[in-house]
């Protein structure tokens, strides 16, 4: 997804440690009041209105509980069944659905995608021919980080099938299967595969074949349900230093990558299913142990640098992406983990099969609460002799990140040639542009200046402010986007516009705003 405080995930998400955990002489089970006190500290430290927590220890649910409020300024509390967008934690559900269809003989993991979707194509004909069902899930297609996400993020008018059709125009960043780069769009393709072979939409399959079977009766499969009536946590973010309620994402074209909404009780049931290799509450199996092993099998090596000293115990012996989940180590044990992020929602799901342990944290803001609580609680679940203060650690990282962002803004301003002027009259930059994979983008004169409009993304309307030379700062009118960008025009020798490129204006901008992949040409010019 979905994918971020999704803006902070690139900085803050670290996994696992090579240190062997020390056990106390007389290990005791984690008790609910301990979880309560830990959550209270986190809610005092970070500007998080509400959080849902599920903790599994020794194969039993210790806590499945809500804390705080669903919406800032209102009294309604988060309950054990309050729904949050789990964002990219949806990906393991999509992978599981494919595994179930493999068990039924309707799919093969190593079969080419075009066997089931003949209309599917990537930029490279070789990749089109060779990419398999498994490849859709493991982030090694050759696409760059978040490539193609502007087709759905922010909410677009493109259908899922149209997004898939446009993948053939996105140039790869690396060769096929050579490097890890997180993507969302291929999970949309996986959703199309599920529909093609099952005869059910992805949403129907997830709801009837998985959520209902697991007993996740309060969960739903659509982004749009975040705006539906009921026991739903409202979305929040910091705007100009103030925590504010924001509109949730409601476009359903990316549901297979991040559309599920769930709460503490339901996610506890899901983690128990994962820990039991597919066994659900009534003793039947959602899938077989062989599928569980396949889903957890490491496939794509992931970057695994040392974490900052503030969260040093999160160093991992290794880190791989499997089918819809990360595989690494924590306190010397193999751990399976994933995070998720949407505007105003963050989630973390982690489980350790050898200990029959798991932690789920869902929040309705974009702070580091979800990670600080995950690792603090996991330390307690494992009965670590000297638990680490991850809450304080992530709080110190937050302060450092804020300083870094201020410094980056100052450096950008200092390097600007404020006396320069655009080469052309503003009217010369106006016109209809197109990008090969995104489509139409319009630049028009507006109130004495220029405005840019993305034809299929209603929120992407911004004012173009001269920055320096032929570069303009695009300031989006919807300030909740927090995604201002630079656009730079390249001219031909005779002074005509050849093309324009865009880049995010700040390292804070979520990677799904993949402006850097656009190449805007005056319409009709190729």
Residue 441: inside a domain, yes or no? Answer: yes
d(CA 284, CA 272): 13
How many domains, in total, are found in the chain?
1
pLDDT-derived band at 403 (thresholds 50, 70, 90) equals confident
Rounded mean pLDDT, 406-432: 92
Residue 151 maps to a domain? no
Residue 458 domain flag: yes
Mean pLDDT, the chain, integer: 93
Sign of CA dihedral 225, 229, 233, 238: positive
Residue 345 resides in a domain:
no
pLDDT at 7 over 80: no
Handedness of CA 391, 392, 397, 399 (dihedral sign): positive
3-state SS assignment for residue 102? helix
Q: For position 510, which CATH number holds?
A: 2.40.128.50
Verify cis geometry, omega within 30 degrees of 0, for the bond prior to 59: no
- 276 Cβ neighbours under 8 A, 6+ residues apart: none
Q: How confident is the model at residue 8 (pLDDT cuts 50, 70, 90)?
A: very low
Q: Which two tokens stand for residue 146?
A: 């978040």
| Mean pLDDT of all residues in 415-433 | 95
Question: Using one digit for the tens of pLDDT, what is the confidence trace for 185-228?
Answer: 999 999 999 999 999 999 999 999 999 999 999 999 999 999 99
Which single residue is written with the structure tokens 């324009």?
A: 500
Q: Which domain holds residue 493?
A: 426-522
Provide the β-strand partners of residue 440: 434
Element (H, E) at 239: strand 235-239
What length is written for the chain?
Answer: 526
If pLDDT is split at 50, 70 and 90, which confidence band does 24 have? very low
Assigned domain for 489 exists: yes
Residue 438 lies in a domain: yes
197: tokens are 């072979």
pLDDT reported for residue 27: 58
Distances 178 to 141, 172, 368, 488 between C-alpha atoms, Å? 8, 11, 31, 31
Q: What was the pLDDT predicted at 5?
A: 39
- Asked whether residue 259 is domain-assigned, the answer is no
CA–CA separation, 320 and 322 (whole Å) = 6
- Of the candidates 453, 434, 435, the one whose C-alpha atom is nearest the C-alpha of residue 443 is 453
Q: pLDDT tier at 404 (50, 70, 90 boundaries)? A: confident
Residue 3 pLDDT > 70: no
Q: What is the pLDDT of residues 157-177, one digit of tens each?
A: 999 999 999 999 999 999 999
Q: Is residue 394 in some structural domain?
A: no
For residue 70, pLDDT over 90 is answered with yes
- pTM across the whole model: 0.93
The β-bridge relationship of strands 461-468 and 471-476 is: antiparallel
pLDDT at 256: 98
Residue 29: the pLDDT is 77
Task: List, in order, residues 6 or more apart from 458 with CB less than 8 Å away.
Answer: 155, 157
């Amino acid at each position: 997804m979905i994918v971020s405080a999704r803006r902070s995930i690139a900085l803050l998400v670290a996994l696992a440690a090579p240190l062997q955990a020390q056990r106390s002489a007389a290990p005791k089970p984690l008790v609910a009041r301990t979880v309560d006190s830990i959550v209270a500290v986190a809610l005092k430290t970070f500007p998080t209105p509400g959080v849902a927590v599920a903790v599994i220890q020794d194969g039993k649910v210790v806590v499945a509980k809500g804390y705080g409020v669903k919406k800032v300024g209102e009294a309604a509390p988060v309950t054990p069944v309050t729904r949050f967008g789990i964002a990219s934690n949806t990906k393991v559900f999509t992978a599981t659905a494919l595994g179930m269809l493999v068990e039924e003989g309707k799919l093969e993991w190593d079969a080419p995608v075009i066997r089931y979707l003949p209309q599917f194509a990537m930029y490279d004909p070789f990749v089109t021919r060779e990419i398999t069902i498994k490849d859709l899930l493991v982030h090694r297609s050759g696409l760059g980080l978040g490539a193609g996400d502007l087709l759905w993020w922010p909410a677009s008018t493109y259908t899922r099938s149209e997004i898939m059709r446009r993948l053939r125009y996105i140039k790869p960043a690396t060769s096929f299967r050579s490097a890890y780069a997180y993507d969302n769009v291929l999970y949309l393709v996986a959703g199309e595969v599920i529909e093609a072979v099952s005869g059910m939409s992805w949403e129907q399959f997830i709801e009837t074949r998985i959520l209902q079977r697991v007993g996740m009766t309060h969960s739903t499969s659509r982004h749009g349900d975040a705006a539906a009536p009921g026991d739903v946590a409202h979305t929040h973010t910091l705007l100009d230093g103030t925590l504010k309620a924001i509109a949730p994402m409601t476009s359903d074209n990316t549901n297979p990558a991040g559309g599920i909404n769930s709460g503490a009780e339901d996610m506890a049931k899901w983690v128990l299913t994962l820990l039991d290799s597919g066994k659900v509450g009534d003793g039947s199996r959602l899938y077989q142990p062989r599928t569980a092993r396949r889903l957890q099998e490491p496939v794509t090596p992931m970057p695994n640098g040392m974490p900052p000293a503030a969260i040093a115990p999160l160093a991992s012996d290794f880190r791989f992406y499997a089918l819809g989940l990360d595989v690494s180590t924590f306190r010397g044990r193999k751990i399976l983990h994933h995070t998720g992020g949407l505007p105003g929602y963050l989630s973390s799901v982690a489980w350790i099969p050898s200990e029959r342990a798991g932690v789920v944290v869902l929040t309705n803001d974009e702070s580091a609460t979800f990670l600080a609580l995950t690792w603090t609680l996991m330390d307690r679940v494992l009965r670590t002799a000297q638990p680490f203060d991850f809450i304080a650690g992530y709080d110190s990282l937050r302060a450092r990140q804020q300083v870094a962002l201020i410094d980056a803004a100052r450096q950008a301003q200092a390097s600007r040639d404020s006396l320069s002027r655009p080469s052309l009259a503003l009217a010369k930059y106006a016109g209809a542009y197109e990008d090969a994979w995104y489509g139409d983008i319009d630049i028009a004169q507006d109130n004495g200046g220029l405005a840019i409009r993305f034809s299929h993304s209603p929120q992407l309307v911004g004012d173009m402010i001269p920055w320096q030379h032929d570069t303009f700062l695009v300031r989006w009118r919807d300030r909740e986007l927090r995604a201002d960008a630079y656009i730079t025009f390249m001219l031909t020798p005779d002074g005509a516009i050849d093309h324009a490129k865009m880049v995010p204006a700040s390292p804070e901008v979520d990677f799904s705003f993949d402006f850097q992949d656009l190449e805007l040409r005056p319409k009709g010019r190729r």
